[in-house]
């Protein structure tokens, strides 16, 4: 089981959202690079980065500098830490894949494009074997995309099966209703995703303290190989170094 601390980038700063709402932003640091270095010092082997601006489709066209600013932060983090970096948010073009891999990312998480253009994602998987993971973000079993602001008629279990068939290397599964709440993870639903997909799965959303980590370890499907922790770190509810030990 790999514990993966998270950094969500909004306007180049480190933030957390509650249930994915851009109206409920908590800002924690203007220097996400220093946050990443702190994770490394605590013993992290992986760091989860999300470009929230790109996920919401705030491109340079309608908000100059935002997306590029976050990409610049991502490049700086990959250069300054020895941890492996996984990146999600706004990966919708082959150019995004190339840019982020060139910047040093080891794993890319695709969500919106996975739903809207699965044929394109399948092509990417053939070109970059083992690098691309599915980002499945769901509210009560229904998938949401575009920074969780757009609902779909697609169930999470169906998308998980499709992800396997398309050649994706794994799944990051986020329970939107738990994300940023500190109220505990949705282990049951994540277990179901691991069961139907038969892929490695990373659980995301709801971790509020060490007891939640222990519950995941005790009750997880064997396919759940990692979990992402965000707000619990920033609010001092977990001590990363102690969790890694």
- Tell me the CATH number at 187: 3.20.20.70
40 - beta bridge partners? none
Active site residue 137: yes
**Total count of domains within the chain:** 1
Provide the 8-state DSSP code for 169: -
The one catalytic residue in 8, 156, 179, 212 is 8
H helices of 81-186, in order, are 94-102, 112-116, 118-127, 156-166
8 catalytically annotated = yes
User: How many other CB atoms sit within 10 Å of the CB of residue 153?
Assistant: 6
Q: Which of 56, 84, 172, 5 is nearest to 70 (CA)?
A: 56
Domain range for 216: 2-244
Active-site entry in 51, 53, 137, 139: 137
User: What predicted TM-score, i.e. pTM, was given to this entire model?
Assistant: 0.93
* 10-residue mean pLDDT series, the chain (245 residues): 96 86 86 97 97 73 54 95 96 95 97 96 96 97 91 97 97 94 96 98 97 97 97 95 93
């Amino acid at each position: 089981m790999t514990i993966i601390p998270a950094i969500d980038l909004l306007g180049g700063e480190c933030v957390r959202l509650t249930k994915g709402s851009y109206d409920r932003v908590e800002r924690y640091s203007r220097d996400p690079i220093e946050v990443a270095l702190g994770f490394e010092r605590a013993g992290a082997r992986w760091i989860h980065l999300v470009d929230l601006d790109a996920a919401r489709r705030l491109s340079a066209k309608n908000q100059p500098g935002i997306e590029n600013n976050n990409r610049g932060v991502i490049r700086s983090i990959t250069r300054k830490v020895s941890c492996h970096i996984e990146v999600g948010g706004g990966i919708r073009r082959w150019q995004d894949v190339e840019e982020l891999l060139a910047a040093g990312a080891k794993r890319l998480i695709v969500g919106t494009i996975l739903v809207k253009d699965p044929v394109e994602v399948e092509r990417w998987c053939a070109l970059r074997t083992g690098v691309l993971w599915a980002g499945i973000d769901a509210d009560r079993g229904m998938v949401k995309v575009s920074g969780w602001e757009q609902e779909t008629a697609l169930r999470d279990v169906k998308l998980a099966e499709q992800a396997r068939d398309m050649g994706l290397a794994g799944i990051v599964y986020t329970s939107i209703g738990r994300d940023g709440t500190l109220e505990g993870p949705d282990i049951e639903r994540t277990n179901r995703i691991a069961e139907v997909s038969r892929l490695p799965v990373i659980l995301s959303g709801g971790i509020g303290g060490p007891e939640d980590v222990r519950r995941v370890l005790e009750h997880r499907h064997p396919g759940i190989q990692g979990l992402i922790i965000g707000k619990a770190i920033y609010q001092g509810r977990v001590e990363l170094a102690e969790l890694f030990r």
